[in-house]
Chain A
Amino acid sequence: EPEVTQTPSHQVTQMGQEVILRCVPISNHLYFYWYRQILGQKVEFLVSFYNNEISEKSEIFDDQFSVERPDGSNFTLKIRSTKLEDSAMYFCASSEISGATEAFFGQGTRLTVV
């Protein structure tokens, strides 16, 4: 069964450092998403990406965040200067069609900012 894969599974970084979280969506999917879940809180939408551009982003997704699809397979989330409050589980997801089919989620990357 096709799946979304995320690397690394756990990343520890120092405050102020840049991190890149990587995702390989399902190959025939066209829509890509990042979500995050701070411990004990809701899963929150960060950004959706289609046709090589951001289609929607949340208030959380400020100038410190960026996304990229550098090649035909990877989808990355970059946090330029991490803060303690960026510590969370970050989920990547992809879907064939936006909202009309299910989104498939990766297993997540746990980011710990120290």
Chain B
Amino acid sequence: AQSVSQHNHHVILSEAASLELGCNYSYGGTVNLFWYVQYPGQHLQLLLKYFSGDPLVKGIKGFEAEFIKSKFSFNLRKPSVQWSDTAEYFCAVTPRPGNTGKLIFGQGTTLQVKP
């Protein structure tokens, strides 16, 4: 079965620390990959996406992610976090053949940034 696994459930960092959130997926075919963020009290918003091309993608607010096909991974990074990055982060994939747009989500990572 298709699945997405996020390694870190709860991460606590100080401001200016670097961030890396792991994401691995289980699917034998081609996928589109996404990172969504949910700030407290708000809806899920897209941070970045990968469909094809350069495996290093840049998103909003200084986030980036690298797709490593051989490792089925799509890790999210930010060199220097801010207090305002406190949120829940979700990795998601959409299998591409026969694509209905269904997103398969990881369990989410809660990031807490201390000022």
Footprint of B on A, CB under 8 Å?
Answer: 3-4, 31, 33, 35, 41-45, 48, 50, 55-56, 58, 91, 93, 95, 97-100, 102-103, 105-108
Inter-chain contact total with CB atoms closer than 8 Å: 67
In the bound complex, do residue B108 and residue A100 qualify as a contact, i.e. CB atoms below 8 Å apart? no
Given A43-B105, A56-B100: 14 more A-B contacts, CB < 8 Å: A4-B43, A33-B102, A35-B103, A43-B44, A44-B105, A56-B102, A58-B102, A97-B101, A98-B100, A99-B102, A102-B49, A105-B44, A106-B43, A107-B42
In the bound complex, do residue B100 and residue A50 qualify as a contact, i.e. CB atoms below 8 Å apart? yes
CA distance A45 to B106 in the complex (A): 12
Q: Count residues of chain B with CB under 8 A from any CB of chain A.
A: 24
Residues of chain B in range 75-115 having any CB-CB distance to chain A below 8 Å:
90, 92, 94, 96, 99-108
CA distance A107 to B44 in the complex (A): 7
Chain B at the A interface: SS class: loop
